[in-house]
A = this chain, B = another copy of it.
Amino acid sequence: MKLNIALLPGDGIGPEVTAESVKALKAIATEFEHTFIFESAPVGAVAIDETGSPLPEKTLELCKNTDAVLFGAIGDPKYDNDPEAPVRPEQGLLKLRKSLGLFANIRPVKAYDSLLDASPLKEEKIAGTDISIYRELTGGIYFGEKQLSEDGNYASDLCAYSREEIERIAHLAFKAARQRDNKLTLVDKANVLESSRLWRKVVTEMGSQYPDVELDFLFVDNAAMQLILNPGQFDVILTENMFGDIISDEASVIGGSIGLLASASVGEQFALFEPIHGSFPQGKGKGIANPIASILSAAMMLDHFNLTEEAQRIRDAVDKSLELDITTPDLNKNGNRISTRQVGDFIEDFI
């Protein structure tokens, strides 16, 4: 198979971890006789520095002309505490999601047996946790109309959803549940929000098309508790954009390291794969960033193109590295100083 892959390494530790995924993908290409062609483009704070825009036109063009995007991370503290900054790195990511129509963000959350002791949760709470979160990614309060009054003393954001926006991601989530344990939980705030009541109505109606999937509902505040109290109860979680942002980051701590968590963002035409950790600017250039989340994002990319054997090879390599404790400092149990690159080397060799 021939694949054109756009690389958007972005800010902070993004470039370092993306480099290791590229190594893994190249090893897969050699081993399975595929042709993967990589082309890089700037996004985020580095793109602002270079071009003034967090998503330069050329970067977007590249993404539209490739088969998939491998994304690193964006964000730089120099923009965070300036509420009046005219451009922000995050705008690049949001515009990219919207322009590519990436309406579904899919985040698997798994507790690895070899890492149970790294979790802040007690082992008996988390053993066996295996959740897939479907977060709506191009609607809701992220993209609704924003207002700031002239005098700067009043601001608002609109959270809006249409039936279509809900249906297209809900179909993906129902189908995912079918491939898994046949359980779907909609997380909303239907006791307060009109938009949540629409979600609940639409998803309830759709339930009759998926009678084999057990459907239930949880208010977001309760979901935030249940994820910690009893994560094992969840199979597929479906939720809107803002709640998904919070809930999926919360869920990311269960497994003991956010350095392991991958995500896919998919739409009708395009797909983007990124580690869920952020740009971690303090870790930049130190060789301490965990590349596994990015490498597993590359595996999700292979799955997306039905290269399941190839994806599994990457996952096997990752499992092996965890088992042998060939891990960056965030996970390393023996206190060995193993660098980002060394983890990537091991995975490349294993493949």
Residues on A lying within 8 angstroms of B by beta carbon are 75, 79-81, 83-84, 88, 90, 94, 119-122, 125, 141-142, 144, 146-148, 152-164, 189-195, 197-198, 200-201, 204, 217, 220-222, 224-225, 228-229, 242-243, 245-250, 252-253, 258, 278
B contact residues around A228 at 8 Å (CB): 120-121, 228, 250, 253
CA distance A79 to B200 in the complex (A): 13
Minimum CB–CB distance from A263 to chain B (whole Å) comes to 13
**B161→A159 contact, CB < 8 A:** no
Minimum CB–CB distance from A117 to chain B (whole Å) comes to 9
CA distance A229 to B277 in the complex (A): 14
CA distance A75 to B200 in the complex (A): 18
**B225→A156 contact, CB < 8 A:** no
Determine the residue in chain B with the shortest Cβ distance to A244. Answer: B221
- Given the interface contacts A221-B246, A228-B250, does A154 sit within 8 Å of B198 by beta carbon? yes
Minimum CB–CB distance from A244 to chain B (whole Å) comes to 10
Q: Which of B153, B194, B253 is close to A155, meaning CB atoms less than 8 Å apart? A: B194
CA distance A115 to B345 in the complex (A): 45
**A197→B250 contact, CB < 8 A:** no
B contact residues around A121 at 8 Å (CB): 120-122, 228
CA distance A139 to B163 in the complex (A): 27
Minimum CB–CB distance from A136 to chain B (whole Å) comes to 14
**B246→A80 contact, CB < 8 A:** no
B contact residues around A197 at 8 Å (CB): 83-84, 148, 155
